[in-house]
Amino acid sequence: MAGYFGDVATAYDRDLGPVLFQPYAIDIARRATERSVRHVLEIAAGTGVVTRQLRDALPKDALLTAIDISDSMMDVARAKFLPHEQVTFQVADAVALPFEDETFDAVVCQFGVMFFDRNAAFRETHRTLKHGGKYLFSVWDSRRYNPFASVTFEVLKQFFPSSPPGFLELPVSCFEIDPIKEALGRSGFDRIIISVQRREYDIMDVAAFARGLVFSPVIEEIRERGGVEPERIVEALAEALTREYGSNPMRYPMQAILFEAEKP
């Protein structure tokens, strides 16, 4: 994923991972391993938040393959595992999976579908799944339900009124359920189950969360525009989030949509 390298990958994992990704990771890993699976593929594994949960939920002798297009992100993920743990990390693209047909019992992708051609990715996932295999993936609901996008965008508009950085619009761009369901059906999946998952997380360090949002790939857009110190944006974002959701702790709301489908 463009922009997720070096310090950005580290901050993404440290400041955003526990809030945005960990609660959903626990759930999707549990669902993926409810029945016996021997080889699981994780797509867009990022810094390994879901990978860690999958590995802990799988039998010790089960295989887990994690792919991402950012080696910097996976460097952070690799550090979470001991050498003897059965995890294979590989740089690979979701729309051109380098695996044989019918390789995996389950494929998991948390908050990645928004960043690539979902039709091509669904076909590739279907091809590499065994018959009866399960595909689980989540997307963020619209920015109305996710302040990491809506509040950040409003703050960025204060600093860049004519051309606010737009990266955080992308994660919340894939919230329409019917087109995704239809794309899954065209790719050959059935038994499609969809659930809307509303959660709240107590954030004690609002400034760290705000810093993680600003020093995401958004930072590239901020630096390209120039004229504003990023820390000023961090301060303004932390203040805006606190006004809206309180502090000590901040009760942060978020909402995702989970899709579960099977290959007949």
DSSP 8-state secondary structure symbol assigned to residue 19: I
The arithmetic mean of pLDDT across residues 181-206, rounded, is: 97
pLDDT for 6: 55
Measured distance CA(167)–CA(219) in Å, rounded? 9
Residue indicated by tokens 């901020």: 222
Give the DSSP letter of residue 45: -
Residue 165 lies in a domain: yes
Check which CATH number belongs to the domain holding 70 and give it. Answer: 3.40.50.150
The pLDDT of residue 4: 55
In a domain, 188, yes or no: yes
Q: At residue 3, does pLDDT exceed 60?
A: no
Asked if residue 248 belongs to a domain, the reply is: yes
The C-alpha atoms of residue 218 and residue 227 are separated, in whole angstroms, by 15
Q: Determine, yes or no, domain membership for 21.
A: yes
User: What value does the mean pLDDT take over residues 82-89?
Assistant: 92
Over the stretch 107-164, which tens digit does the pLDDT of each residue have? 999 999 999 999 999 999 999 999 999 999 999 999 999 999 999 999 999 999 999 9
Q: Is 56 buried (19+), middle (13-18) or exposed (0-12) by CB count in 10 A?
A: exposed
- What pLDDT digit, counting tens, does each position of 207-256 carry? 999 999 999 889 999 999 999 999 999 999 999 999 999 998 999 999 99
- Do the domain assignments include residue 1? no
Q: Which residue has the tokens 């993680």?
A: 212
Residue 41 lies inside a defined structural domain of this protein:
yes
- Provide the residue type at 81 as one letter: F
Count of domains in the chain?
1
Return the pLDDT at 76: 94
How many whole angstroms separate alpha carbon 9 and alpha carbon 3? 9
Q: Is residue 2 part of a domain?
A: no
Once rounded to an integer, what is the mean pLDDT over residues 12-35?
96
Give the pLDDT score at 208. 96
pLDDT cut 70: percent of the chain above it: 97
Question: What does R_g of the chain's alpha carbons equal in angstroms?
Answer: 18
Q: Which domain holds residue 93?
A: 7-262
